[in-house]
Amino acid sequence: MAHRYRWLLFDADGTLFDFEQAEAGALARTFVRFNLPLAPNTADAYRAINAQCWQALERGELTPAALRTRRFELLFEAVGLSADIERFSAAYLEALSEMAELIDGAAEALAALRGRYRFAIITNGLRAVQRGRIARSAIRDDIAALIISEEVGSAKPAPGIFDAAFAAMGQPDKREVLMIGDSLSSDIRGACDYGIDACWFNPAGLPRPAGLPIAYEIGRLEELVGLLRR
């Protein structure tokens, strides 16, 4: 039953934070800073390349340090642009760390659940970006624990990052923790493999896959409030 949970373990990007908006804003700002043209197809290419790089990180094929620059190496090769990759990457990360827009309903959902549950964030992300964004966000005071893959040396869905999360939360019983995330491959697969309940945030209304024991599914974060009050 939903009332048994004590901890809500949230993914960051695509669950609490509007990463598409943040990514677009940071990319545009960095292209302007380097006096580079940002065509619509360039932004589309970056989104696809970045997603592929993060999937490679989930599989252990790419390190966080390599990901920082590899995505821009691939992008510039694809669109025929050139820049100092290290400087461009650093400027992009700085811009991204300042983008703290939340998914619609995130702040309201946490406010409604505040005091009844403790909140933690577990993210496959880069330290400078995630800590900067969360520190600037409207929910910064609600987050009791923040677990970042780059800091702990393990990324979802691997169990190591969940070990780090449970250590940060004070080793609660697994039955007392609910994972909420949008990614089937990292959030939901990782939670299910680790033995904790998972709530799939599925705003696009995608079909539920076979073979994953998803405990709950929501299309809007406001639905989480009603679910946890059952």
Geometric angle at alpha carbon 24, from 46 and 189, rounded to 5°: 70
Q: Which of 11, 13, 187, 197 is catalytic?
A: 11
- Which tens digits make up the pLDDT trace of 23-58? 999 999 999 999 999 988 898 999 999 999 989 988
Q: For residue 65, which amino acid is it?
A: A
- All structural domains of the chain, each given as residue ranges with its CATH number in brackets, are 2-17+102-228 (3.40.50.1000), 19-97 (1.10.150.240)
* Under 8 Å between Cβ of 97 and 183: no
Q: What is the pLDDT tens value at each position of the chain, 230 positions in all?
A: 556 899 999 999 999 999 889 999 999 999 999 999 998 889 899 999 999 998 998 888 999 889 999 999 999 999 999 999 999 999 999 999 999 999 999 999 999 999 999 999 999 988 989 999 999 999 999 999 999 999 999 999 999 999 999 999 999 999 999 999 999 999 999 999 999 999 999 999 999 998 899 999 999 999 999 999 76
The beta strand positions in 104-210, using DSSP E, are 118-123, 143-148, 177-181, 197-201
Q: What is the pTM of this model?
A: 0.90
Inter-CA distances, 64 with 32, 81, 209, Å: 25, 23, 29
Catalytic annotation on 11? yes
- Which tens digits make up the pLDDT trace of 203-226? 999 999 988 999 999 999 999 999
